[in-house]
Structure 1
Amino acid sequence: MDRATIVHENFLRRVAQGDLPPGAEPHGPLGREAAVQLYRSGCLTRALDIVSRRMQAAGEGFYTIGSSGHEGMAAVAAALRPTDMAFLHYRDAAFQIERANQVPGQSILWDMLLSFACSREDPISGGRHKVLGSKALNIPPQTSTIASHLPKAVGAAYSVGLTKRVKPEHQALPDDAIVMCSFGDASANHSTAQGAINSSCWTAFQKIPMPVLWVCEDNGIGISTRTPSGWIAANFAHRPGLGYFACDGLDIYDTYATARAAAEFVRTRRKPAFLHLRTVRLYGHAGADMPTTYMAKHEVEAEEANDPLLHSVRLLGEAGALEREEALAIYQETLERVERVRAEAVTRPRLKTASEVMASLIPPKRENAPSNGPSAEAREAAFGAELKAMESPQIMSRLINWALTDLMLEHREIALMGEDVCAKGGVYGVTQKLGQRFGRARVIDTLLDEQSILGLGLGMAQNGFLPIPEIQFLAYYHNAEDQIRGEGATLPFFSNGQYSNPMVLRIAGLGYQKGFGGHFHNDNSFAALRDVPGVILCCPSNGADAAKLLRECVRLAREEQRLVVFLEPIALYPMRDLHEPGDALWLRHYPEPSERIGFGEVTSHGDGRDLAIVSYANGLHLSLQAQKRLAGEGIAVRVIDLHWLNPLPEEALLEALGDAERVLVVDETRRTGGLAEALMTLLTERTGKPQARYVAEDSFIPTGPAYAATMPSVDGIVEAARALAGGKA
């Protein structure tokens, strides 16, 4: 027999015989009726685990990672309010089941079986995953999380305090809410978990409200790797700024009392707490995992003998709440009911086509209050003497600063966050004075951890804010890219569009820095961003376009709930000249706050028919220089600025190519995995024009005089254009 059957039959036999494991007497505030309800939730959790395995064996279900052994999480749910947002560990079916009892109109058994069956009628994921989550229950969906959900719990908790000072348009959580985030003992060792918990303590240590309850479900093992005995307590019991509470997760009375105390600590003190819940893991890790292949049989049997449902039967009997015979009848009736409902759930339709699967990659638009832009009075108060400076052309970094100012004046829910963005104004001064203009509540200096920065943004977006986090350099994004790929971009997909993570992520990047560089500060690869479904990537080439594009990025996030990355070319921040030193042709006037470059639009410079050069950012700056030189040789060139690097503005680009006879792609990313690969494919499939590409080498970028040696140059563009134009030259 498999372990699930063994545990099931052991339960039936031991309850019937009164052979129940010993333990503490029932204590605390849990009443009889509520205790029986927790037991019912535990029985439903167990029955669903049993039936999900039967479904998989019959080809009716597709993923089994059970919650058996963690039924005590029902008591944690009972200790919280349904308005407390919960980011759940994948073993927390009991929490979701019990929370459903707190919210009228729920059909939790039907809903979860639809999820097991991957039915497109599944109310949370629409058939895309067996996933815990519910919009009605305030549980954003999580899949096979290994701590990646912890950073956004910090952000959501931070947002609760911030709403008392800044009211967002779409506030989701009440002012007295707390945020619960659960995970396993193995995940607690992950750098993401350590960073998130440290971030919550770091914040609380500064007396900033941080109402987050960390719940560690410690079953002592991660797949096959043991957690050293006492490790979790030693690691978390004495952290500065972190309340520590421990309980026996096999005991619903102890768990409920301790969870209530922990929740009260967080709710009243607005500080983080760590609830250490000692549990067992039944059936092994997931699916076909056999614990007896890496654990001694007596160890597996010892865990099974400690079945929390057996403990609950004993405790309920001692409390006079439920007799053994009644407890056994509830268990058997629950299993029979789940089997009956299963028979219907497996007949419900599933996703079939690519379009059906992809329907939720892009979240739905949402209603927003109309805005006429910032008032003249607000702008005068914010800009002061800088209004006069707007009469003169400026460098890109300053125009981005002004655009951010106008956007923050217009939309109170915008908050900036990142390393050094407030007091210092960023590495390159792009966010200077924003802290003075809007305060530290909306311009947040974070600790030095990219996962925490992105998690702060993702979590704040769950409570109605429009975050604009900053990553100092493109290479640093790789420290935290799973926050975008594994959390932000997948949220609408796995929630069937019910949840989203609208934000504008600003990243300074690309190459050509002369005095400050090397591969950490000059990084010319953004393939990890273009590879994530649903993410928009935008990149300006000059200051005026940067302001107009940034406004469109904010509109996309605010109105269309999109996750947008705004990639700012560092080398062009201070650029003043184009063709000759001192010509000031790269400076731009600040566009009026209403001006935007729309999503998917491109910009053409010139209308030459001999050759079209397609580029962006630094490549555009170089291509315009090449355009002038080529004109002197009789080659008429138009230069097209893409602006949008993911998804590519295909139709606008093809229209802009028009009657140009040839196409040269100038791409500052690398030959392998670079943007040019996609552009050349598009041109091959959609046009018959002769084409070529001129790209960066497959190399990291060095510091020093050779900073641009591996990158496209003006001379190289001219040479490539001549070769492509052939006899015309």
Structure 2
Amino acid sequence: MDRAQIVHDNFLRRVAEDDLPPGRAPSGPLQGPEAVRLFRAGCLSRALDRKSRAMQKAGTGFYTIGSSGHEGLAAVAHALRPTDMAFLHYRDAAFQIARADQVPGQTIAWDMALSFACSVEDPTSGGRHKVLGSRALMIPPQTSTIASHLPKAVGAAYSIGAARRARPEHAVLPEDAIVYCSFGDASANHSTAQGAFNTAQWTAFQSIPMPLLFCCEDNGIGISVKTPRGWIEATFRDRPGMKYFSADGLDLYETSRVAQEAAAYVRRRRKPAFLHIRTVRLYGHAGADVPTSYLSRAEVEAEEANDPLLHSVRLLRDAGALEPAAALDIYTNTCARVERVADAAAERPRLKTAAQVIASLIPPPRPCRPTNGPSAEAREAAFGADLKAMDSPQPMARLINWALTDLMLAHPEIALMGEDVGRKGGVYGVTQKLHGRFGASRVIDTLLDEQSILGLAIGMAHNGFIPVPEIQFLAYLHNAEDQLRGEAATLPFFSNGQFSNPMVIRIAGLGYQKGFGGHFHNDNSVAVLRDIPGVVLACPSGGADAAMMLRESVRLAREEARVVVFLEPIALYPMRDLHAAGDGGWMDRYPAPDRRIGLGEVGVHGEGRDLALVSFGNGRYLSHQAQAALAQDGVAARVVDLRWLSPLPGAGLAAALDGVERVLFVDETRRSGGVAEALMAWGAEHLDVPFARLTAEDSFIATGPAYAATMPSAEGIVAVARDLMERGR
């Protein structure tokens, strides 16, 4: 049977008969008019839940995951300010409705109905998904990936204290704001959530401000799996550095009182707190989920008998705030209004074309204050003796370090974060001296957790910073990749460009490290990064290029609000020589601070027309060695450096290959899922000359003498090039 209809009918009958569930008398600071407003929010949330299900059945709505049973969260919204950023659980419609009541000019019923209908007029996602969220209400929309929003809530909370020291140009959170983050009891067990709790506690333990209010909405079940009774309280009551609060979510008055106490604690002490709200879940998990398929009928009916709206009617009656007959009128009138509003919303236009859908993948550019770069005085104070060293060629690692220094001098909103980036200067020394130059607030040594590192970056970006997080090794990214795919990259898409989290993620990676760490420190798989829509993937091969591409990456983040992954080839960090020991052929002078390489601009080395060796990273280094060997065969080759791996620089590549008679794609990533797959497809569509590829094997990387056995070599490039020359005659 339709449990939503049963709950609705039960409410009408029981209120009319004054058959209300027993409970404690109302107590707390909640005043009558405020309590009635919260009840109205709960009624609207309930009516929208029912209508969303009806719309889905009628084919005019497309996604249902309801908030019925969680209406008490309206009281939590009442305890916060609309300027407190809120990362919401997907069952928090009542919270959003109550917050809308705090901000003049909101049309929350219409807005949410447009979301149900996936209309292009939906003010949050523009018809891309049914999401909670609102720019006006400071609620960034969330994906439904379990618990993935908790790490960025930690980052956003951290950013408030960081902004007190140096307020970014695009900061949005007041100095006394707190961050709110809600989730379900099942989600609390997710490793991502546990990492976020630990990071918040770890930070607060060191007396670093962390004004974050976690809220666990404990309805006792995750889809079909029950949470053991008492589990949430037992595991969160006594955690160090995070104060525990608990309330009965069926009681608006108690929930309001406890939520106000918790919010006041976080706002005053600037420490995290855990608010445990006990709720019920009505209907089922979502959509066509039938709770009686995994719960007994008696269990389902017991939850329905504890309908929080029925408890609210009793509490309002006992407080003298509202008679049951008046409460019933509010409920029925709200249901009728939602019917009218949602029926009209179902007629509004929807997305139809691919162009419309992808229009928000990349956020709109944002105005930025002009900057003339760092002053001579600031550079002299920061660089010291390094200024003189800039007159001579240097390896890549040092040029990246200098580029980061100049960028941080020019843009005070840049903050570096990662494991070992501070006092140690990074695992490869790339960030050496930056901690001393800019301090611990801008060069942040994090705990060892890649999800927390990226979450910190995403959250700080929400508040106007330009984070530059470092992941020590490409192989270490993979347990945190959802922070990019599920959170950072999707934010503009699901907010119709209203929210963004720009950043530049530096990752040390790729192969060819001699005898160090095998696969865990040498990883040549970038497919997971190239597969994320909207993300820019940059891969420099030389030191000067790295400095200029890093400047462009920061510009893309700062001015165009882009998410950029900056993949640095570890083996090339210290590289000095190219053809022979002592030739210094792979070192560059530091390019002037105003020089950069634009997105999509490829590098061309040589003018040979017989053959083009197209590569990137370590492949460019090897291609230069092959270029010299081929010249002895009389083959005039040019080396083309892609630089930008996603989006693929098609226009730049076509120009670089103009007039070339043969093309060899040299790819140090794997044959399956590697960059060369895209290049071969591009070649089939755009080239009218013979072309081939040389890739790494579909294998992990070994340590010891076989460190490069599975990847291209200069000799291998020469052999394939010679074969291509013969086949192309």
TM-score range, shorter chain: over 0.9
Q: Which amino acid aligns with 1:379?
A: R
**For residues 193 and 349 of structure 2, what CA distance do their matches in structure 1 show?**
38
| Partners of 1:132 and 1:143 within 8 A in 2 | no
| Partners of 2:86 and 2:138 within 8 A in 1 | yes
Query: What corresponds to 2:336 in structure 1?
Result: 336
**For residues 592 and 309 of structure 2, what CA distance do their matches in structure 1 show?**
66
CA displacement, residues 427-474 of structure 1 (integer Å, 9 cap, x when unaligned): 000001100000000000000000000000000000000000000000
Query: What corresponds to 1:274 in structure 2?
Result: 274
Task: Note the C-alpha offset of 1:515.
Answer: 3.0
| Partners of 2:525 and 2:669 within 8 A in 1 | yes
Query: What corresponds to 1:439 in structure 2?
Result: 439
**For residues 163 and 612 of structure 2, what CA distance do their matches in structure 1 show?**
50
TM-score of the superposition, structure 2-length normalised? Answer: 1.00
Task: Note the C-alpha offset of 1:728.
Answer: 8.3
Query: What corresponds to 1:177 in structure 2?
Result: 177
| Partners of 2:143 and 2:486 within 8 A in 1 | no
| Partners of 1:87 and 1:142 within 8 A in 2 | yes
Task: Note the C-alpha offset of 1:517.
Answer: 2.4
Three-state SS of the structure 1 residue aligned to 2:519 is coil
Query: What corresponds to 2:467 in structure 1?
Result: 467
Q: Which amino acid aligns with 1:225?
A: V
Query: What corresponds to 1:56 in structure 2?
Result: 56
Query: What corresponds to 1:74 in structure 2?
Result: 74
Alignment of 1:126-165 (within 5 A): 126-165=126-165
Three-state SS of the structure 1 residue aligned to 2:166 is coil
Q: Which amino acid aligns with 1:134?
A: S
Three-state SS of the structure 1 residue aligned to 2:357 is helix
Task: Note the C-alpha offset of 1:706.
Answer: 0.3
Q: Does 1:40 align with 2:40?
A: yes
Q: Which amino acid aligns with 1:458?
A: I
Alignment of 1:294-693 (within 5 A): 294-693=294-693
Q: Check 1:278–1:500 CA distance in 2 against 1; reply closer, same or farther (3 A cut).
A: same
Q: Which amino acid aligns with 1:453?
A: I
TM-score of the superposition, structure 1-length normalised? Answer: 1.00
Q: Does 1:234 align with 2:234?
A: yes
Query: What corresponds to 2:189 in structure 1?
Result: 189
| Partners of 1:635 and 1:728 within 8 A in 2 | no
| Partners of 2:143 and 2:487 within 8 A in 1 | no
| Partners of 2:77 and 2:98 within 8 A in 1 | yes
Task: Note the C-alpha offset of 1:145.
Answer: 3.6
Task: Note the C-alpha offset of 1:582.
Answer: 1.0
CA displacement, residues 11-34 of structure 1 (integer Å, 9 cap, x when unaligned): 001111111111111011100000
**For residues 702 and 608 of structure 2, what CA distance do their matches in structure 1 show?**
36
| Partners of 1:419 and 1:472 within 8 A in 2 | yes
- CA RMSD, Structure 1 to Structure 2 (Å): 0.7
Query: What corresponds to 2:261 in structure 1?
Result: 261
| Partners of 1:129 and 1:143 within 8 A in 2 | no
Q: Which amino acid aligns with 1:268?
A: R
| Partners of 1:363 and 1:560 within 8 A in 2 | yes
Q: Which amino acid aligns with 1:19?
A: D
**For residues 455 and 667 of structure 1, what CA distance do their matches in structure 2 show?**
31
Q: Which amino acid aligns with 1:312?
A: S
Three-state SS of the structure 2 residue aligned to 1:216 is strand
Three-state SS of the structure 1 residue aligned to 2:164 is coil
Q: Which amino acid aligns with 2:566?
A: F
Q: Which amino acid aligns with 2:595?
A: E
| Partners of 1:89 and 1:145 within 8 A in 2 | no
Three-state SS of the structure 2 residue aligned to 1:102 is coil
Q: Which amino acid aligns with 1:718?
A: V
CA displacement, residues 294-340 of structure 1 (integer Å, 9 cap, x when unaligned): 00000000000000000000000000000000000100000000001
**For residues 128 and 152 of structure 2, what CA distance do their matches in structure 1 show?**
22
Q: Which amino acid aligns with 1:218?
A: D
CA displacement, residues 318-372 of structure 1 (integer Å, 9 cap, x when unaligned): 0000000000010000000000111210000000000000000010000000000
Three-state SS of the structure 1 residue aligned to 2:66 is coil
**For residues 119 and 220 of structure 1, what CA distance do their matches in structure 2 show?**
34
Q: Which amino acid aligns with 1:519?
A: H
**Does 315-324 or 136-145 show the bigger shift?**
136-145
**For residues 295 and 189 of structure 1, what CA distance do their matches in structure 2 show?**
21
**For residues 566 and 497 of structure 2, what CA distance do their matches in structure 1 show?**
23
CA displacement, residues 171-193 of structure 1 (integer Å, 9 cap, x when unaligned): 10000000000000000000000
Where in structure 1 do 4 or more consecutive aligned residues deviate above 6 Å? none
**For residues 255 and 570 of structure 2, what CA distance do their matches in structure 1 show?**
53
Q: What are the ranges of 5 or more consecutive residues in structure 1 without an aligned counterpart?
A: none
| Partners of 2:358 and 2:493 within 8 A in 1 | yes
**For residues 229 and 258 of structure 1, what CA distance do their matches in structure 2 show?**
21
Q: Does 1:90 align with 2:114?
A: no
Q: Check 1:652–1:297 CA distance in 2 against 1; reply closer, same or farther (3 A cut).
A: same
Task: Note the C-alpha offset of 1:423.
Answer: 1.1
Q: Which amino acid aligns with 2:329?
A: A
CA displacement, residues 683-717 of structure 1 (integer Å, 9 cap, x when unaligned): 11111110010000000000100000000001000
Task: Note the C-alpha offset of 1:48.
Answer: 0.3
**For residues 253 and 643 of structure 1, what CA distance do their matches in structure 2 show?**
60
Three-state SS of the structure 2 residue aligned to 1:452 is helix
Three-state SS of the structure 1 residue aligned to 2:565 is strand
Count matched residues.
Answer: 729
Task: Note the C-alpha offset of 1:166.
Answer: 1.2
| Partners of 1:90 and 1:145 within 8 A in 2 | no
| Partners of 1:422 and 1:445 within 8 A in 2 | yes
Matched residues, percent identical? 73
Q: Which amino acid aligns with 1:487?
A: E
Task: Note the C-alpha offset of 1:194.
Answer: 0.3
| Partners of 2:363 and 2:500 within 8 A in 1 | yes
Q: Which amino acid aligns with 1:189?
A: N
| Partners of 2:510 and 2:522 within 8 A in 1 | yes
**For residues 201 and 668 of structure 1, what CA distance do their matches in structure 2 show?**
41
Q: Does 1:211 align with 2:211?
A: yes
**For residues 336 and 228 of structure 1, what CA distance do their matches in structure 2 show?**
39
| Partners of 1:128 and 1:494 within 8 A in 2 | yes
Q: Which amino acid aligns with 1:694?
A: L
**For residues 626 and 237 of structure 2, what CA distance do their matches in structure 1 show?**
64
Three-state SS of the structure 2 residue aligned to 1:695 is strand
CA displacement, residues 658-704 of structure 1 (integer Å, 9 cap, x when unaligned): 10100000000000000000001101111111001000000000010
| Partners of 2:690 and 2:728 within 8 A in 1 | no
Three-state SS of the structure 1 residue aligned to 2:692 is strand
Task: Note the C-alpha offset of 1:727.
Answer: 7.2
Q: What are the ranges of 5 or more consecutive residues in structure 2 without an aligned counterpart?
A: none
**For residues 664 and 728 of structure 1, what CA distance do their matches in structure 2 show?**
12
**For residues 727 and 32 of structure 1, what CA distance do their matches in structure 2 show?**
86
Three-state SS of the structure 2 residue aligned to 1:20 is coil
